[in-house]
Amino acid sequence: MNLPAGMPPTLLRRELEGRPRARDLLAGRELVVHTCGAGWVPGTGEGAEGVYRVFRWLDTAGAGIREWSLECGPRLVEASRVRRWRDAGISRISLTAPDPEAVARIRDAGMACVSVEIPMRDRSTTSLAELLSVLPEAGATEVVLRGEELPDGSDEVVDLHHWRVAREHLDLLGFRPLEPWRFQLPEHRCEYARFIRLRRPLVGLGPGAISFRNPMRRWNVPNEADWAGRLRSGMPVDTRTEHQRPGERRVERLWGALSGSEGLRVPASLRSGEALRKTGLPLGTLQARGRRLLPTWAGWEALDELVVALLRCADSMDVAGTRGARGGRLRGPT
């Protein structure tokens, strides 16, 4: 799929021109589009009107787009800008910092889905509880708990005590867990997180964005200046790639299913009480619901061990690289 002639040469267009596989994904299959970064967002960088034209083209050409989210900081949120994002096809705003006033502006501009990331580091349980009470009143429909980044820059970890405090408050406010660290109001479902977890097609645009088309995952350079400089020089921006082997894909599928509220579909023989006891995990970490196994809260707190035990029930597969809770911390979103 080619971009139409005459479209202004914005950075967003340059990224799309250099990624033919991403454009091909837009042509048919059901997918999620996630855009992030401030440099090319309309009204803040070069060619604002040109970026809107690319947005409108994406909305028209992407017949299979299930959700289109835009990630930005609170300073970019103005009512007129949010309305233009909405009219161009964007259906969800993801704020990278908790700002109740910005959330209210997004809501008042007519955007139905508003996600807010809450950094948990150095935050007291009292201030966390106060913030969790204010954000839903302002219009937040999703809350994502962010912890400390690991030394290798991969995942994040959240202190389990803070996590327990947060989930208790959010439960009282009507939020339900989509993942251990992501809570939503039932009527506002986030497809972005679900597509990542279930390994479905994802097109990420902008600095730091992640794209996925089985079995390949790609990361754009995270620094905005590097991203823009590479585009202007005609260089690719997805500088980090991961091509998963079959065993790695299997572990990720299992981890993704167990870290989500949908659970894992398993044979009846593995749903029995005897089979669950053979996993070697403490009682109360798994529950059977219909044809699926779902972790309890205690199971989510021990997600690594849960994944390892279930894999061992199936066979003796090598399980290096699983993720979850260790040492009083819960690993969070990637």
User: Residue 250's pLDDT is what?
Assistant: 85
Residue 31 has, within 13 A of its CA and on its CB side, a CA count of 23
Residue scoring higher pLDDT (1 or 34) = 34
- Of residues 191, 78, 184, the one with CA closest to residue 135: 184
pLDDT tens string 157-168: 778 889 999 999
Residue scoring higher pLDDT (286 or 37) = 286
Residue scoring higher pLDDT (122 or 321) = 122
Q: Domain boundaries in the chain?
A: 11-243, 246-331
pLDDT tens string 68-82: 899 989 988 989 889
Q: Which residue has the tokens 């300073």?
A: 75
Specify whether the CB–CB gap between 238 and 19 falls below 8 A: yes
pLDDT tens string 223-280: 888 998 999 899 999 889 999 898 888 888 888 888 888 888 877 776 676 766 766 6
Q: Say if residue 154's pLDDT is above 50.
A: yes
Specify whether the CB–CB gap between 113 and 91 falls below 8 A: yes
Architecture of the CATH domain 11-243:
Alpha-Beta Barrel (3.20)
**CA distance to 127, 156, 234, per residue, from 190 (Å):** 26, 20, 34
User: Residue 28's pLDDT is what?
Assistant: 63
User: Residue 152's pLDDT is what?
Assistant: 56
| Average pLDDT of the chain, as a whole number | 82
Q: Give residue 172's pLDDT band: very low, low, confident or very high (50, 70, 90).
A: very high
